[in-house]
Structure 1
Amino acid sequence: MLDRTQTPLEALIRRRRPGYSLEAPFYLSPEIFAADMEAIFHRHWIFVGVEPDVAEPGDAMVVDIGTTSVVIVRDDDMSVTAFHNVCRHRGARLVHDYKTSVGNLVCRYHAWTYGLDGKLLYAEHMGPEFDAGCHGLKPVHVRSLEGLLFVCLSDDPPADFDVMAAQMAPYLAPHELRNTKVAFEMDIVEPGNWKLTMENNRECYHCAGNHPELTVPLFAEGFGFAPEQLDEAGRAQAERYACLVTDNHGAWEASGFPSRCIEHLDDMVTGFRTERLPLDGDAESHTLDTKSACRKLLGRFNDPKSGALHFWTQPNSWHHFMADHAVTFSVLPLDAEHSLLRTKWLVHKDAVEGVDYTVENLKAVWEATNDQDSTLVGYCHSGARSPAYEPGPYSPHTEVLVDRFCNWYVGRMADYVGIGR
C-alpha cells in the first residue's frame, strides 16, 4: 500500500521499474517539470554552445535555462566568462539579443555599465555611499571542454566534470573545435517533454524505418540487434562489423585519435559516453552522398575517412565529430510539453562558403533527421497523455542506453528528494 506520507514524486521514484519506460507523470506533470528544472538543470553541467559562438573579445551569447538567463562573453584577455543576465540595479534583463558584440555590457533601463569581467563600471546618481564593488554581475560557472561550453547554475557544481574532461579531452582535441566556426545553426521546438527528446536520441531502434538520410553511411549492426534472431549470413555480418570496429579503433589510436568506447551514462553525476565508429563503405561523413561536406578538414585530420566520434552528456547533449565537420546538439526544456533542440554545424574557421562547403549540403542530413525525430517525440508525448499508456519494456539489445538515461535521471531525482531506491 502506498505510504501516504510520500509526495507523488517520491512514490513515482520508488516504484520505477528498471528496463521500462517512465510513468506518464514524468512526462506530463508541471510539478515534476518544475522539479526537473530545480534538480537537474539548476544543479548539473548543461551544454550550451561552443567557443566559436563567442569567437572574439566582446562577443556575447545569451542562453535561457528555464527562467534563468545567462550571458556568456569573451573577455579582452580571450577568456570565456558567464554571468546571470540580470542588471544589479533593479533586475532588468541586460542583454536582449541571442548573439551580439559589445564594448561593455550596458543596461538599457538606467545605463548601469559593466565590464566584460562583470565589474560595475558606471552607475549615475547613486550617491557617495554607494559601493560599486558590491554590485558586479553575478557569475555563473562555465567550463570549456576542448571548445564545448558547459554552464552550471549551482553554487556547488558537480566536481566530476574534471573526470569527464580528463577522459574526453584526448578524444576531442584532434578536431580542434576552437579553430572552427559556426557555419549554420537552427532551433526546433519539439512537441514533447525534454526526457522524450533525450530518450529518442539514446537509441537507433527507430532509425531504419524513420531516418533514410541518416542511415545511409551507418552500419545496421551499430544500431544493436538480437543475436538469437540472426541467420547464418546475419551472424557473419555482425562478426565482420565487430572486427571492423576493433581494427579501426586500433588503427585510429595508433594515428593519435582515441576511439574506444568509454561509458559512464548512469554511474556518474556528470554522465557521458563516447566512441569513434566506422562509416559504411566509402563513406566519409554525415551527408546525403556520404562524402565530406567540407574540403578543408578539421584540426589534425588529413584523411576524410576517419569515422565519426560521438559524445553524449547527461542531461542534455549529443555530438558528432567527423574529419570534415562537427555537429552539436543541446536540449533546453521550455515547459512540460515543449523542448528547444538547438543544433550547430561547425567547419574549419578558414573554410570558405561556396568554395569549400555549401550550407545546404552541410545541414541536409541532420536537418531532415531533426524534423523526423521531432515528429516521433510528438507521437510519444501524445501517447503518454492517454489513460491507456503504461510503461513498456525496453529492448535489451537496442534500447539499453535509453534505460541508462532513465536510470541516471531517476537516480538524480532520488538524490534531490533525499531517498534511496
Structure 2
Amino acid sequence: MTTRAPATSAPATRAPATSAADLVHQRVVGHSLDAPFYVSEEFLALDIAAVFARSWIFVAAEAELPEPGDYVTVTIGPYSVILVRDDEEDVRAFHNVCRHRGARLLHEPHGSVGNIVCGYHHWTYGVDGTLLHAESQSPDFDPTCFGLRTVHVRTLAGLVFVSLAARPPADFDEVADRVEPYLAPHNLRRAKVARQIDLVEEANWKLTMENNRECYHCAGHPELQRCYFPLYNFTADEVPPALRATYERFLAADADARATYESLGLPYETIEELDTRPTGFRVQREPLDLAGESFTTDGRVAVRRLLADFPTARLGHLGLHTQPNAWFHLASDHAVTFAVLPLAPDRTLVRTTWLVHADAVEGVDYDPDTLTRVWNTTNEQDAVLVARAQRGISSPAYLPGPYSPTESQVEDFVNWYITRLKEHLEG
C-alpha cells in the first residue's frame, strides 16, 4: 500500500534560513511568522534594537503623573526610563542611570520625589535632569556636563510616548495632528487613574499584539462581545445569515451614532495607516451594542461623572491602535489604555489603565470592579489564548499558517514589523 503525505496549505518549500536576516527577508506575505521570531533570544534582541529602541512607544497616561515630582519608571528591554512631571508641569523622560558610575536611580514603578537622588554616592538631580549636587569632585568638574541623559518624549491628548532613538521617527507630529481631534474631547489630560492592572502573559509580545489586531477569536470573549457588534471585517455582502439580525441592529445604531457625532462635532471616520508609515496607527469612532454607552455587561455607563461635558452618554466608543505596542478604548464615561512591553521571548507585560474624570469619586460615582470587569476578564481570556499559541509555536511540528481575510490587521502589524526589521538590518 502506498502512503501519501497529507495535503497542507503551508507556503511553498524554500531554502532553509541560516540567520535572522534570512528569516526576515524570506517571510511569506499573508502567513504567520516562522517559529524563531516568537521563541528565540536572538529575535527578542533584534526586536528591542529595531522596533522598541527606534519607534515611538506608548508608556503611560499623563494621569499617572498628576503633580510635579510624580514619576513612573518603565522597562523597555535593557533600558529603564524615568517619566517625571517637572516643576513647570511638563512631562520629562530620562534614562534611569546615574551619570557618576551608572547606578540605577529609581527602583519603584511609581512614586514622587523632590529631587532624584542616587542611593549609591548621592549624586542629586532636579526633576529637569540637572545635576544639583556631586560631593568631593575636582576643581575643574563641570556639573552642567553631567545632567541625566534625556529620552525623547511627546504627549498626545493625555497619552505619553517615548522614543529611545537618537533620531525618532519624524512622522509623530503628523500623526498627532490627525489623531488629537478624536481624543481631545475626552479630556484625558484632566483625568485620573481609577485602576491599573499588570498582567504577564506567557507568550511573545508579537503574539499579544497579533491577538489584539483581530476578532477572529472573539467567540472566546462573551463578555466583550455583548458590548460590540461582532461584524469585524465583513462587508455588507459577506455578513453570514446568523449575523443578519445583528447587522440590521448595527445599521440603525450606526445611523444614530453618526447623527450624534455630527451634531457634537466629533470626528468619527476611520483613518487606517497601520503599515504605511513608521508611526502606524488606526483610529475610528463607532457605536456600541446594548445601551451603547460603555464597556459594561448592560452597556450602560460605569461612571456617573462623564469624562467631559458630553450632553449624552451614548457615544459608543473611540478606538485607537498605535504600532508597535498599544491600543486604547474611550467611551463617554471612561478610557482604557493598554501598553505591551516584552520581558522575555515567551513573557510579555500587558499594562491596563482605567481613566475616569478627576472629580469622580470611587464608591459614589463608580465601582472599580464594575468599571474593570469586561476588559479585565477579556485580558485574562486573551492570556490563556496567547499562552496556548506560544506552546504550539514552540513545537518542532509548527509551520506558519495563512491568515484569514478577517485578520487583515494582523497582516498589517506583521508587515509593519518586518519593514522595521529590514530597515534596521539594511541600515
User: Which TM bucket (shorter chain)?
Assistant: over 0.9
Is 1:145 aligned with 2:153? no
Is 1:115 aligned with 2:126? yes
TM-score of the superposition, structure 1-length normalised? 0.94
- From the superposition, tell whether residues 331 and 253 of structure 1 become closer, same or farther in structure 2 (CA, over 3 Å): same
Runs of 4+ in 1 over 6 A off after TM superposition: 1-4
Task: Give the whole-Å Cα distance in 1 for the aligned partners of 2:333 and 2:171.
Answer: 31
Q: Tell me the equivalent position of 1:387.
A: 396
Is 1:345 aligned with 2:347? no
Q: Tell me the equivalent position of 1:261.
A: 270
Q: Tell me the equivalent position of 2:410.
A: 402
- From the superposition, tell whether residues 198 and 64 of structure 1 become closer, same or farther in structure 2 (CA, over 3 Å): same
Q: Secondary structure at the match of 2:231?
A: helix
How far did residue 19 of structure 1 move?
1.3
How far did residue 127 of structure 1 move?
2.0
Task: Give the whole-Å Cα distance in 2 for the aligned partners of 1:83 and 1:94.
Answer: 11
Which of 319, 332, 343 is the equivalent residue of 2:341?
A: 332
Task: Give the whole-Å Cα distance in 2 for the aligned partners of 1:313 and 1:170.
Answer: 16
1:154-303 matched pairs, under 5 angstroms:
154-208=165-219, 210-222=220-232, 224=234, 227-228=237-238, 230-231=240-241, 234-235=243-244, 237-238=246-247, 241-242=250-251, 244-245=253-254, 248-303=257-312
Structure 1: any 5+ residue segments left out of the alignment? none
How far did residue 221 of structure 1 move?
1.6
Q: Secondary structure at the match of 1:215?
A: helix
AA aligned to 2:185 is: P
Q: Tell me the equivalent position of 1:375.
A: 384
Task: Give the whole-Å Cα distance in 2 for the aligned partners of 1:369 and 1:93.
Answer: 35
Which of 306, 320, 332 is the equivalent residue of 2:315?
A: 306
How far did residue 242 of structure 1 move?
4.8
Task: Give the whole-Å Cα distance in 2 for the aligned partners of 1:146 and 1:228.
Answer: 37
- Cα contact 1:227–1:235 (8 A) shared by 2: no
How far did residue 243 of structure 1 move?
6.3
How far did residue 11 of structure 1 move?
1.5
How far did residue 176 of structure 1 move?
0.5
Task: Give the whole-Å Cα distance in 2 for the aligned partners of 1:229 and 1:295.
Answer: 36
Task: Give the whole-Å Cα distance in 2 for the aligned partners of 1:271 and 1:73.
Answer: 26
Q: Secondary structure at the match of 2:404?
A: coil
Task: Give the whole-Å Cα distance in 1 for the aligned partners of 2:182 and 2:108.
Answer: 33
The 10-residue stretch of structure 1 (98-107 or 8-17) with the greater mean CA deviation from structure 2: 8-17
Q: Tell me the equivalent position of 2:7.
A: none
Task: Give the whole-Å Cα distance in 2 for the aligned partners of 1:2 and 1:218.
Answer: 42
AA aligned to 1:168 is: V
Q: Tell me the equivalent position of 2:368.
A: 359
How far did residue 241 of structure 1 move?
3.0
- From the superposition, tell whether residues 159 and 229 of structure 1 become closer, same or farther in structure 2 (CA, over 3 Å): closer
- Cα contact 1:57–1:78 (8 A) shared by 2: yes
Q: Tell me the equivalent position of 1:68.
A: 79
AA aligned to 1:90 is: R
Task: Give the whole-Å Cα distance in 2 for the aligned partners of 1:222 and 1:229.
Answer: 10
TM-score of the superposition, structure 2-length normalised? 0.93
- From the superposition, tell whether residues 262 and 359 of structure 1 become closer, same or farther in structure 2 (CA, over 3 Å): same
CA RMSD of aligned residues (A): 1.9
Q: Secondary structure at the match of 2:226?
A: coil
AA aligned to 2:417 is: Y
How far did residue 254 of structure 1 move?
3.2
How far did residue 215 of structure 1 move?
1.0
Q: Tell me the equivalent position of 2:117.
A: 106
Q: Tell me the equivalent position of 1:417.
A: 425
For these two proteins, the number of residue pairs brought into alignment is 415
- Cα contact 1:249–1:276 (8 A) shared by 2: no
Task: Give the whole-Å Cα distance in 2 for the aligned partners of 1:339 and 1:226.
Answer: 37
- From the superposition, tell whether residues 226 and 17 of structure 1 become closer, same or farther in structure 2 (CA, over 3 Å): farther
Task: Give the whole-Å Cα distance in 2 for the aligned partners of 1:36 and 1:411.
Answer: 12
- From the superposition, tell whether residues 407 and 243 of structure 1 become closer, same or farther in structure 2 (CA, over 3 Å): farther
Residue identity over aligned pairs, in percent, reads: 53
Q: Secondary structure at the match of 2:178?
A: helix
Task: Give the whole-Å Cα distance in 1 for the aligned partners of 2:243 and 2:203.
Answer: 36
Q: Tell me the equivalent position of 1:53.
A: 64
Q: Tell me the equivalent position of 1:127.
A: 138
How far did residue 281 of structure 1 move?
3.2
- From the superposition, tell whether residues 222 and 304 of structure 1 become closer, same or farther in structure 2 (CA, over 3 Å): farther
How far did residue 248 of structure 1 move?
2.4
- Cα contact 2:157–2:183 (8 A) shared by 1: yes
Q: Tell me the equivalent position of 2:49.
A: 38
AA aligned to 1:122 is: H
How far did residue 244 of structure 1 move?
4.3
- From the superposition, tell whether residues 379 and 159 of structure 1 become closer, same or farther in structure 2 (CA, over 3 Å): same
How far did residue 283 of structure 1 move?
2.9
- From the superposition, tell whether residues 330 and 174 of structure 1 become closer, same or farther in structure 2 (CA, over 3 Å): same
Task: Give the whole-Å Cα distance in 2 for the aligned partners of 1:293 and 1:321.
Answer: 12
- Cα contact 1:203–1:223 (8 A) shared by 2: no
